Amino acid sequence: METINWSGYEWITQERWGQIHTEKSHWWYDESCVNVDENKNLNLLTKYNPKYFPELNKWSHIGVGLISSVGRFNHGTFTVSAKLPKGENLWPAFWMWSWDTWPPEIDVFEAYSNSKGSYFKPRIKSPLGFWNVQTNIHYIEKEKNKMIGGKTKFFGFKDPSKNFIKYSVEWSKNSIKFYYDDVLVRTIDDESIMGQMNNTTMNVILNNGVTAGVNKLDPPKSNFIVEYFKYEPFL
């Protein structure tokens, strides 16, 4: 298991539980898809790189870059400055999940490019929320895994695949607030959800990824570039 140091923290280049998700086995967490360049930017790639996983008796065709924090995080503000990768059917994300169990999970953003390689997605009910970059929360209700649902809101006209955008979440005891380029885009303050969040510490993850629509034999060669990660704990 390879580790890297970046933005003042130590990270592993796979999930804590392994290199491949059994329900998303067409892609795997490939350490060769992670690098830090001369400008100290984190680069998370996607590429065709088949690997056989004997425990699944299956080939996985697409290597993707992922980093997962070695340390645990508690309440505070979590921020990255990132440029989304260019390419078809991509799924970059900045998120956190509990060290104790899953869920809970906080998705600061999950972004989805379409078959033309664009993150632009017009919506009738939210005409200004045209970038397909979504916040979400996963939690437990009546012993079942639930999520509040992905939500997109307006955060400017800059194309997030051509510009660095600042993505932040402020996780306190009473609420979770999401900010894109310092614009508040969502607030979660449901007491039952917050109770679950407050009983754990979080593992921070950044990853490039692909959706089910990707051509697994000819995936895009993409690069999710992150300038920095910052964590400001609440005292």
pLDDT in tens, 24-61: 999 999 999 999 999 999 999 999 999 999 999 999 99
User: What is the distance between the alpha carbons of residues 16 and 32, in angstroms, rounded to a whole number?
Assistant: 17
Q: Where are the domains of the chain?
A: 1-69, 74-200
74-200: CATH number: 2.60.120.200
Give yes or no for residue 123 having a pLDDT over 90. no
pLDDT at 124: 87
C-alpha distance from residue 87 to each of 28, 33, 111, 223 (Å):
18, 15, 12, 9
Average pLDDT of the chain is: 96
Average pLDDT rounded to a whole number, residues 224-234: 97
Give pLDDT tens digits for 60-114. Answer: 999 999 999 999 999 999 999 999 999 999 999 999 999 999 999 999 999 999 9
Give yes or no for residue 235 having a pLDDT over 80. no
Proportion of the chain above pLDDT 90, given as a percent: 94
Banded pLDDT at 189 (limits 50, 70, 90): very high
pLDDT at 193: 95
Average pLDDT rounded to a whole number, residues 143-149: 93
